Structure 1
Amino acid sequence: MSALDVPAGDVLLQGDLVEAAGGEAVVVFAHGSGSSRRSPRNRRVADLLNERGFGTLLFDLLTPEEEEMDARTARLRFDIPLLAGRLVQVVAWLGATGAARGIGLFGASTGAAAALVAAARRPDEVTAVVSRGGRPDLAGPALPEVRAPSLLIVGGHDPEVLALNERALAAMDADAGHELTVVPRAGHLFEEPGALEEVGRLSAEWFRAHLPQ
């Protein structure tokens, strides 16, 4: 794993990159709701993807100063234009480095909305998206523009978020191959035994099917 500063416009964001052998596909993680690149849940999913041959990039969508402010106000975590803009710039940077032959996005909570907006804005680089317990509904008018096949994963014991994901899926282009999958007995954070492992399995299968290998 390599620690690095990821350029995103006029800021540098802290990130951790695991490169796949041979420059294969890289999955970029977008956290949300006050989390960071150190999120144990996203780390676990990233480890599972690494074990299956994918590279991963986990980075902080906010600077340390912004994270401190957000901890007090909880405002920036819902600023989807800001988060999506940062993600778009990181995707462009990663594509320009030539470190990946394909880029997928994995978003959790509000990070899922940022991932979908970024996919809509960078259709030539982002070829697949996975959302875990996400808020894709917050992507709003970008939803019909997402061409990258997107998998929305929701816990069976998370009915409010499930309803929001169903509404978002209905707004997306049915011809693009988007799907919604429910993990039985899992709650919003997928803390139940085996729940994150199932997320990792579903994500790996989705990225394997839709990212260049």
Structure 2
Amino acid sequence: MTTASRTARIDAGDATLVGDLALPADARGVVAFAHGSGSSRHSPRNRAVAEALREAGLGTLLLDLLTQQEERVDMMTAELRFDIPLLGRRVTATVDWLGTQPGTAGLPVGLFGASTGAAAALVAAAERPDGVRAVVSRGGRPDLAGEEVLPAVRAPVLLVVGGEDDVVLRLNEEAAERLRAPYRIHVVPGATHLFEEPGALEEVAVAARDWFGQMAVPGAPPDGP
């Protein structure tokens, strides 16, 4: 499958975000990746998931939610990675940007969030109910989005959690109870937080592919709980 790739530069108001946009020919949708907890667009786990999505005909945008200077500060303080309002505004700016760009304008948009990036993705989904069609969280912290944000999300949400990631699983279950949108919790048996076990990340990729694959089908939202 032919894929067109380019560097994306997104004006988020207080910063210019840099990302890698890849669009297969005749893309059926595009998925933006929101990284968290010190990760970046170079995350090998998210890049593996992105590759699986492109093979299914979906475009991907992997971007850094922090500037290089902010990343240097965050490496010392670990504060910005937990600044959900900041990260949420930047994911929202990314959704808006995708809606204006040649090749992505008019395409259904999905958000894939990992760790604290999942909370940021949910903030953006609540802010842009008409612009975000589906959300997937991988080992995420949806609880950090806030009690007011979660009920405002309209896009179907898939929460993927490792079966051995006990604390995060409990937090996902509690956050899911506050969602009003259709959702599903997908537990990967035997997997820990980083899904490093054999076959675990592949299961994440398949689940995300199937969830996002339905966002381009009118009238066919993913199943709820």
Q: TM-score range by the shorter chain?
A: over 0.9
Aligned equivalent of 2:110 = 104
Aligned equivalent of 1:182 = 187
Structure 1 pair 212/96, CA: closer, same or farther in 2 (3 Å)? Answer: farther
Query: Is this contact kept in 2: 1:104–1:211, CA < 8 A?
Result: no
- 1:134-168, CA deviations, whole angstroms, 9 ceiling, x for partnerless residues? 00000112000000000000000101000000000
- How far is 1:75 from its partner? 0.3
2:68 maps to a residue whose letter is P
Structure 1 pair 123/98, CA: closer, same or farther in 2 (3 Å)? Answer: farther
Query: Is this contact kept in 1: 2:135–2:155, CA < 8 A?
Result: yes
Structure 1 vs Structure 2 CA RMSD: 1.2
Work out the CA distance in 2 between the residues paired with 1:114 and 1:13: 15
Query: Is this contact kept in 1: 2:27–2:57, CA < 8 A?
Result: no
Structure 1, 12-21 or 152-161: larger mean CA deviation: 12-21
Work out the CA distance in 1 between the residues paired with 2:30 and 2:201: 19
Q: Which ranges in structure 2 are unaligned for 5 or more consecutive residues? A: 219-225
Aligned equivalent of 1:122 = 128
1:8 maps to a residue whose letter is A
Work out the CA distance in 2 between the residues paired with 1:156 and 1:91: 31
Aligned equivalent of 1:40 = 44
Structure 1 residue 143 and structure 2 residue 147: aligned? no
2:35 maps to a residue whose letter is H
TM-score, length of structure 1 as denominator length: 0.96
Aligned equivalent of 2:95 = 91
Structure 1 residue 162 and structure 2 residue 148: aligned? no
Query: Is this contact kept in 2: 1:102–1:212, CA < 8 A?
Result: no
Aligned equivalent of 2:210 = 205
Query: Is this contact kept in 2: 1:25–1:212, CA < 8 A?
Result: no
Structure 1 residue 10 and structure 2 residue 10: aligned? no
Query: Is this contact kept in 2: 1:25–1:55, CA < 8 A?
Result: yes
Could you tell me which of 153, 158, 162 is aligned with 2:160?
Answer: 153
- 1:61-119, CA deviations, whole angstroms, 9 ceiling, x for partnerless residues? 00000000000000000000000000101110111125331100000000000000100
- Percent identity, aligned pairs only, is 60
Work out the CA distance in 2 between the residues paired with 1:93 and 1:208: 21
Query: Is this contact kept in 2: 1:70–1:76, CA < 8 A?
Result: yes
Query: Is this contact kept in 1: 2:114–2:137, CA < 8 A?
Result: yes
- How far is 1:4 from its partner? 2.7
- How far is 1:10 from its partner? 3.4
Q: Which ranges in structure 1 are unaligned for 5 or more consecutive residues? A: none
1:162 maps to a residue whose letter is L
- 1:2-56, CA deviations, whole angstroms, 9 ceiling, x for partnerless residues? 1232221132111000013224300000000000000111111101111111100
What is the aligned length? 211
